[in-house]
Amino acid sequence: MPGILIPVIGISLTAAVAILIACCAAQVVPAIVKYAGFVKQYARSGQWFHARPNHVYTELEKFLFKWMPLKQRLLRLRVFFSADEETTTYFPTPKGQKARLAVEEESKRYIKSITPKKYWNNIIPTFPLGCKRRIFDPDYLDYLNRPNVELLPEGIQEMTETGIITSSGISDDFDIIVLATSSQVSQFLTPIQIFGSNGQSLQKQWNECRGDKLI
């Protein structure tokens, strides 16, 4: 998606671009940095990044999948069990805590192996794995090594006619500001309306109880 939109908005090689997004930056930055003279991303907190398991199947594997369907089914079964086992990392059990710490350490090693040292404290989260969406890195971390990319660990205080002022008062001018902050995370299942047996809406219950308790 980001790669398709870039030519449409007409970014020049001299443009300064601000990215005001969280997880989506992992997709937007790699897509936009090759067209912009300078890209600055604002991020208030870090993210747990992991190597992207994006296996490219060989022609031999495709051939075997076509003529030996059982091999494909066994692979699907292995992927299922692997993904199901990953949910253990979110459990508040001794096994879950051990698994979670192991995955966090793996993520730290991955981040440090690619990202400039000056960004380590900004990218490595201070919250446990599972509190926010995990990111399987689409080469985003590698782009932070480029001289025309900067990551600023601050929030936005104000948007002016020419740019942005951060929460600490840093002011920058930009040609383009990319916004991807429209997710209505506090409006559960928007715009679907769900009502319980007592006639109360799930959205109202969510607002009152800060969660999806029984309605």
**pLDDT tens digits for range 52-66:** 888 889 999 999 999
* Beta strands 171-173; 163-166: pairing state: antiparallel
The DSSP symbol for 11 reads -
Residue 3: per-residue pLDDT: 44
Reported confidence tier of residue 191, pLDDT bands at 50, 70, 90: low
Residue 211: per-residue pLDDT: 55
- Mean pLDDT, rounded, of the chain: 83
Tell me the whole-structure pTM to 2 decimals.
0.73
* Other beta carbons within 10 Å of 129: 19
Reported confidence tier of residue 5, pLDDT bands at 50, 70, 90: very low
Evaluate if residue 67 carries a pLDDT over 90. Answer: yes
Evaluate if residue 133 carries a pLDDT over 70. Answer: yes
Q: Express each pLDDT in 8-44 by its tens digit.
A: 455 555 556 666 666 777 888 888 888 888 888 888 8
- Please give the average per-residue pLDDT across 131-137, as a whole number: 88
Evaluate if residue 94 carries a pLDDT over 90. Answer: yes
Residue 163: per-residue pLDDT: 87
Evaluate if residue 119 carries a pLDDT over 50. Answer: yes
Evaluate if residue 182 carries a pLDDT over 60. Answer: no
- Please give the average per-residue pLDDT across 146-162, as a whole number: 88
Number of Cα atoms under 13 Å in the Cβ half of residue 158: 8
Reported confidence tier of residue 106, pLDDT bands at 50, 70, 90: very high
Number of Cα atoms under 13 Å in the Cβ half of residue 198: 6
| Whole-number Cα distances in Å, 18 to 39, 104, 153, 170 | 6, 29, 13, 13
Evaluate if residue 84 carries a pLDDT over 80. Answer: yes
